[in-house]
Structure 1
């Protein structure tokens, strides 16, 4: 039994909790810096030749589960350890402290009050009347008063003692929700062009939901920089008679049957061109990271045998589309829907550039617990600011003096300044 108590005392130690919080914060920072949930080949290709911090290559990164920090065994173990420490601290300290605060303490002798942090003695002609006046005044100010003949006990702000217990409860719920979401949640990121669909399947391979992108628009400022992205989505569930239409944008996600759809990014999906007298050709675009960020393009041959290729490059669905020859020289700038330009003896026209919406779909069963944890933690933090004040008053056996003593768990100086005003209603002068 003694060993268990020592273990409980060690696990609920404040220094241990602070250490665990520090480790969780460092791990969260690592998870923010490093890409998460990518293909293992990405980590091997990127970090084997250039180890992170000069120490951790791709193989070690995968072995340490740094590619999925928040669902890793060691991160969840830290959360569980901290949760256990908070539960034990609540059980060993906060709950007994709350029980003690709810119990009335009855001091019977004036000498007991003299040992309190705040103590005053009033000389009164009629101390009994002064005692009743003081008790009545405290009730009017919102104090709870329990009278015992020639003495009383009063208190205010006992609800503040519930605050630390609620903070611990909220943090435990928050960590439970985070762990549940990391283990049972799903995350999917896809680029969709208008008119394209995405089927979400359950574990049995059956369709749960069909998501179709009806429209996608990019709002730009006068300088041409993107300001907002908007997607109009059609959602069709297997048992629904008709689909539902919803619009999402950045910072305005869609929540639908436990799933959240975020407007995360944008891209360019395809370009429609006409070369000479050919039919209109819709060709997929790809990124060229070696040429710069936010740059898309394709290599287009201008001869039937695939020779004399040109590079079409663009950074916006509005254009311009830059045309480069095989030697890297600029041949033309084309606008979508604009006039054609002669390239290698053939007219080349760009009819349309199709943007793609970057959608992030998340299903996190732990979100209600996380929100509840945040709410309870904030409520507990607010209540923790409420000072618990206690006051006792005892008549002198001779009936000529009133002895008053007080305690406060925080801001004792403020209570000391308030005490003379409180006891002034009893009349008399202080000794």
Structure 2
């Protein structure tokens, strides 16, 4: 065989598909890789909590400027390029979840299942010297053989016998617990991935009395159904704000009705912060408010409604304003400003001078006419979310709690061997070592109360 043939065979050996697959599984199942992936997922999840998600580009430009950049590098451009404005639906975050799930699956099949299979096999000790490797062992009189078996069965041990040897175990559920934990985590990851791929996030600002369908989509998963396909609409029956005695917003409420195409009510709820409306897999959260318009009357004219727009304040609170004509030809008018729905508004003339303050239904003389503000129309800001993965995630968390409790169950093993006139006994457990030692001592004392028994010291 030539050197070239040898090199070719060696290369063929290392490039064998089965060998490469086994090597890949070993790498993926590595505990260090799993820890690194878990830490990366935790870090990016925290970033998604700290950095506001799903906001507009001007919002990030205002709050995360390039100079000075937050921490010296975090600017609005970095946020948009890396997708930190929608972390949980980015391809790289979903890839981390898939890779971590693959690591859990590989670890489960290469370590957890073999460990469970090994724990289910019973093996017998045939020589006294075998008991020396156990953490706990003792030597008794051979007459205790049958009594010990009875005691072990009463303590919940499953006993196997072969000639003069006995193997007993209990707590096999403790070996199943880690597998259940891994399965639960995989289910949670699957739910999170499915929610990102099949859900959507929308925001709507709807005036009191308005009816809307979900249109303003901010994020939408690859397999998400269109919200426009829903055969129902939402009506804002009323929106109002409760204020504290010092004039600050205490809580804001939206009275919502889900209606069909014919206007029949399908569901109804008054929502506020942390009390959303849920219908047909879609959740409506109360997140914001605004002033949509104002109803006014000039002299004895019919009441008419004008829209109000939010004005820039450079971060100094929020103000809404509109222009009210005081002549039919629109040649003169006044500006009306409001900061909340409590009813006090400021009126400015065309020269920008303050003319006066006015409240709802209180007349004000301006430009030779009587101006009467009938009502401010509030608007509710709703965040609308559909996440079909939530039931899967909740199922995973429930299974995770069960698996953690199962994992706390000790897997205890006891061996016995009767040889000549002596009986050898020993055991080990994977946790609660002191409790297991006390249990084993109690079993021995119950069958030989007059004999002083000493267990071998813990190793």
Global fold match (TM > 0.5) = yes
Gaps of 5+ in 2: 1-17, 216-224, 455-459
Contact 2:79 2:85 in 1 (8 A): yes
In 1: Cα distance, 2:227 partner to 2:376 partner: 38
Greater mean deviation of Cα atoms: 141-150 or 79-88: 141-150
- Distance in 2 (CA, whole Å) between partners of 1:224 and 1:423 is 76
Partners of 1:267 and 1:297 lie apart in 2 by 8
Residues 133-148 of structure 1: matches in 2 within 5 Å?
A: 133-148=147-162
Q: Distance in 2 between matches of 1:332 and 1:426?
A: 99
1:309 aligns with 2:338: no
Distance 1:345 1:67 in 2: 52
Query: Which residue matches 2:400?
Result: 377
Contact kept, 8 Å, 2:337 with 2:347, in 1: the verdict is yes
Aligned twin of 1:163: 177
> Which residue matches 2:259?
236
Q: Which residue of 1 aligns with 2:117?
A: 99
Of residues 279-288 and 35-44 in structure 1, the stretch that sits farther from structure 2 once superposed is 35-44
From the superposition, tell whether residues 49 and 275 of structure 1 become closer, same or farther in structure 2 (CA, over 3 Å).
farther
Q: Report the TM-score when normalising by structure 2.
A: 0.80
Structure of higher RCO (CA pairs closer than 8 Å, 6+ residues apart)? 1
CA contact (8 A) 1:118 1:407 kept: yes
SS of aligned partner of 1:357: strand
Q: Cα RMSD between the aligned structures?
A: 3.1
- Give the match for residue 434 of structure 2: 413
What is the Cα deviation at residue 28 of structure 1? Answer: 1.9
1:341-377 CA-partner distances (Å, limit 9, x unpaired)? 4446554433222222222222222222222222222
Q: Which of 233, 237, 243 is the matching residue for 1:210?
A: 233
> Paired residues, what number?
422
| Change in 2 beyond 3 A, CA 1:221/1:409 | farther
- For the pair 1:8 / 2:33, whether they are aligned, the reply is no
Provide the rounded CA distance (Å) in 2 between the counterparts of 1:398 and 1:20. Answer: 57
Deviation (angstroms), 1:86: 0.9
Q: Say if 1:205 and 1:299 are closer, same or farther in 2 by CA, change over 3 A.
A: closer
Name the CA distance, whole Å, in 2 between partners of 1:208 and 1:309.
44
Q: Does 1:387 align with 2:410?
A: yes
Q: Using a 3 Å threshold, how does the CA distance of structure 1 residues 223 and 59 change in structure 2: closer, same or farther?
A: closer
**Which of residues 33, 45, 59 in structure 1 aligns to 2:50?**
33
Q: C-alpha distance in 2, partners of 1:7/1:171?
A: 21
Query: Do the aligned residues in 2 keep the contact of 1:285 with 1:298 (CA within 8 Å)?
Result: yes
- Cα gap change, 1:353 to 1:84, in 2 (>3 Å): same
* Partner residue in 1 for 2:36: 19
The answer (yes or no) to whether the contact 2:326–2:369 under 8 Å persists in 1 is: no
